[in-house]
């Protein structure tokens, strides 16, 4: 049985049911909990227009490779590499990369999908998102990569900085802001 947000007052009843954006962002947060990265736990999910979950991914090393904890720590931290730079200097993949690769591995088409991620994608992930044909990205936390939004804009991908239910995007993609002002 669903609860009511207003405690059951007559005439103002509203069921406690998450919006689709809340639902998928919550799933991305649970997916992030699987990460073995010592610096950040990030999760991503991709869904289609019918609100069907297509793929999930979290940041971490490729299948069968050692985790950084088993390597004596994070090589990026040891080398003093700041977040948002030199993504190639890492044993792990980003959550968005893993979601796209997992879909490819299983033969799942992401064209026209929506990606929900706990962090703003980096510019490399943004390029992969464009080439995978994903048309919309919702993200929660900022990531220090200045090229990301330019790549998404030029690639025709709508994006929304999601701060919770009050920031949910409009129902039509044509109304989603892609001008960098989130």
Q: Which member of 88, 96, 153, 168 is catalytic?
A: 96
Verify whether residue 96 is a known catalytic residue: yes
The DSSP result for the chain, as a single string, is ---BTTTT-TT---B----HHHHHHHHHHHHHTT---SS---EEEEE-TT--EEEEEESBPPTTSPPGGGGTS-HHHHHTPPTTS-TTSSS-B-HHHHHHHHHHHHT---TT-EEEEEEPPPHHHHHHHHHHT--EEEEEE--S-TTHHHHHHHTT-EEEE--SGGGPPPSSGGGS--SS--
Q: What are phi and psi of 103, to 5 degrees?
A: -60, -45
Active-site residue list: 96
């Amino acid at each position: 049985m669903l609860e009511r947000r207003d405690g059951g007052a007559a005439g103002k009843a509203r069921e406690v049911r998450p919006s689709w954006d809340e639902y998928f962002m919550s799933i991305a947060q649970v997916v992030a909990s699987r990460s073995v990265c010592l610096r950040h736990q990030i999760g991503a999910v991709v869904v289609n227009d019918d609100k069907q979950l297509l793929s999930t991914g979290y940041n971490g090393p490729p299948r069968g490779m050692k985790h950084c904890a088993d390597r004596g720590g994070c090589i990026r931290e040891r080398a003093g590499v700041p977040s948002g730079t030199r993504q190639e200097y890492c044993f792990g993949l980003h959550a968005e990369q893993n979601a796209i690769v997992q879909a490819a591995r299983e033969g799942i088409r992401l064209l026209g999908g929506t990606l929900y991620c706990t962090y703003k994608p980096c510019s490399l992930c943004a390029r992969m998102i464009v080439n995978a044909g994903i048309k919309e990205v919702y993200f929660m936390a900022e990531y220090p990569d200045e090229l990301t939004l330019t790549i998404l804009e030029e690639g025709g991908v709508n994006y929304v900085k999601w701060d919770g239910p009050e920031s949910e995007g409009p129902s039509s993609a044509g109304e989603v802001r892609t001008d960098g002002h989130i």
